């Protein structure tokens, strides 16, 4: 593993709207991912996780636009790459898995062909060779009797099988990085575990780094070595995942952890309500003055209402938190 990170995002700002209606939906987001590392991006809906991923893929569309900051993949500044350069990166060097395996496959094309297309498109193979490789890819994601399954259409497969096919497509060209945007949300719990294990195992074998986007802290803890917690377009806490779960420093992270349902908690402590963080994420156009979390924070002080907190280094410089009281 070299010292130069595979992916370095620095001071990322994503604007929504234009002119007087322009607001920063994501601001000052910086993180880096080493080769083969697993990194989690956590936060509730609307905090900017998915658009951060889209900006890495170079796929921000109106009304979203890159407002500033740099994104460097393997020494190459991809935030200013041309459309053609980005196209050759996508799929070949960065793979992506989505939340909805039901809709992410072309319903009119057999799944084997959709996998083979990646080999034809990015590696210049002929269709015959690509089809053989597609069978091999399906075998790798543990789809039973892949020789027959490659002729199946997406609607003939179960949700778990479809997500396996998506993984096969995303990892077909052995990319340097896999972005997994809520990869298990649409699946059964038992299938979730299988899919996560499979993803981790294949990425480890191929040396592929994972950027996992999720609101599921349990999943992130299981998969990721480091975690960044996002709130209202900013990273509020970024540390090794073991540290986050042992000693969360930001009140938002503490709130997230406290709201995880625990099996058996009720029987030990009598009748207990599931904890929640009151309120909702503020709208992009109406971020509060001072700390953006202050309307929902249980530990706020006077300074939180007027002054935006800077980041404080933690864990000997490898972690950071953005809170006045951490």
Partner 1 sequence: MKLRTNLLVGGGLVGLAIVVAILAPWIQITDPVLDANLMNAEIPPGADFPFGTDQQGRDIYSRIVHGARISLTVGLVSQIANTIIGVTLGLTAGYWGGLWDDLVSGVTNLMLAIPSLIFALAIMAILGPGLVSLLIALGLTNWSYSCRIARAQVLSLKSQGYVQAARILGYGDLRIMFTQLLPNMLGPLIVIATLGMGGSILAEAALSFLGLGIRPPYPSWGSMLSEARDQITTAPWLSVFPGLAIFLTVLGLNLLGDGLRDILDPQSQERRA
Binding site for partner 1 (CB under 8 A): 57, 59, 87-92, 95-96, 98, 100, 102-109, 117-118, 121-122, 153, 155, 166, 169-170
Q: Which residue has the tokens 């460097």?
A: 72
Angle between helical axes of 111-123 and 159-170 (0-180°, round to 10): 10
- Minimum CB separation from partner 1 for residue 2, in Å? 25
Which single residue is written with the structure tokens 């059964």? Answer: 188
How many other β-carbons are positioned within 10 Å of the β-carbon of residue 12?
25
Nearest approach, Cβ of residue 268 and partner 1 (Å): 42
Closest to partner 1 by CB, 87 vs 148, is 87
> CB 157 → partner 1: shortest distance, Å?
12
Q: Which is nearer to partner 1, 123 or 193 (CB)?
A: 123
Which is nearer to partner 1, 76 or 275 (by Cβ)? 76
**How far apart are CB 47 and partner 1 at their closest, in Å?**
21
Q: What tokens does 179 get? A: 């972005």
Q: Using the minimum distance from each CB to partner 1, give the nearer residue, 52 or 294.
A: 52
CB of 326 to partner 1, least distance (A): 36
- Going from the C-alpha of 293 to that of each of 147, 296, 298, the distances in angstroms are 53, 6, 10
State the Cα–Cα distance between residues 113 and 48, nearest whole angstrom: 34
Closest separation in Å from C-beta 250 to partner 1 = 31
What minimum distance in Å lies between the beta carbon of 201 and partner 1?
A: 22
The pairing of beta strand 319-321 with beta strand 234-240: antiparallel
For residues 165 and 261, give the distance between their C-alpha atoms in angstroms, rounded to a whole number: 31
Cβ distance to partner 1 smaller for residue 138 or 297: 138
Task: Name every residue whose Cβ is closer than 8 Å to that of residue 10 and which is 6 or more positions away in sequence.
Answer: 30, 69, 70, 71, 72
When the beta carbons of 18 and 301 are compared against partner 1, the nearer one is: 18
CA 74 to chain centre: 19
What is the spatial distance between Cα 136 and Cα 12, in angstroms, rounded to a whole number?
38
d(CA 140, CA 64): 37
Which of 118/217 has CB closer to partner 1? Answer: 118
For residue 30, the minimal CB distance to partner 1 (Å) is 23
Judging by beta carbons within 10 Å of its beta carbon (0-12, 13-18, 19+), is residue 280 exposed, middle or buried? exposed
Distance between CA atoms of residues 227 and 96, nearest Å: 19
Do 118 and 107 meet the contact criterion of CB atoms below 8 Å apart? no
d(CA 90, CA 82): 12
CB nearer partner 1, residue 106 or residue 275: 106
């Amino acid at each position: 593993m070299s010292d130069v990170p595979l992916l370095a995002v620095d001071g990322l700002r994503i604007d929504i709207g234009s002119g007087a209606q322009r607001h920063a939906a994501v601001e000052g987001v910086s993180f880096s991912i080493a080769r083969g590392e697993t990194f989690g991006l956590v936060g509730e809906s609307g905090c900017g996780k998915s658009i951060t991923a889209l900006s890495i893929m170079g796929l921000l569309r109106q009304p979203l636009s890159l407002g500033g900051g740099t994104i460097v993949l393997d020494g190459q500044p991809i935030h200013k790459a041309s459309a053609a350069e980005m196209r050759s990166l996508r799929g070949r060097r960065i793979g992506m898995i989505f939340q909805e395996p039901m809709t992410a496959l072309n319903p009119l094309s057999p799944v084997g062909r959709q996998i083979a297309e990646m080999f034809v498109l990015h590696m210049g193979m002929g269709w015959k060779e690509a089809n053989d490789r597609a069978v091999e890819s399906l075998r790798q994601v543990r789809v039973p009797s892949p020789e027959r399954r490659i002729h199946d259409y997406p609607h003939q497969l179960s949700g778990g099988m479809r997500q396996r096919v998506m993984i096969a497509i995303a990892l077909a060209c052995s990319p340097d990085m896999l972005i997994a945007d809520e990869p298990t949300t649409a699946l059964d719990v038992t299938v979730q575990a299988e899919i996560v294990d499979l993803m981790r195992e294949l990425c480890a074998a191929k040396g592929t780094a994972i950027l996992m986007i999720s609101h599921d802290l349990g999943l992130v803890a299981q998969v990721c070595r480091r975690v960044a917690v996002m709130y209202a377009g900013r990273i509020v806490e970024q540390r090794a995942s073991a540290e986050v779960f042992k000693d969360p420093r930001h009140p938002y992270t503490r709130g997230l952890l406290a709201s995880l349902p625990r099996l058996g908690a009720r029987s030990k402590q009598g009748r207990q309500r599931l904890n929640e963080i009151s309120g909702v994420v503020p709208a992009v156009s109406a971020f509060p003055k001072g700390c953006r979390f202050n309307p929902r924070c249980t530990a706020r002080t006077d300074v939180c209402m007027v002054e935006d907190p800077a980041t404080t280094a933690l864990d000997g410089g490898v972690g950071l938190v953005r809170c006045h009281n951490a």
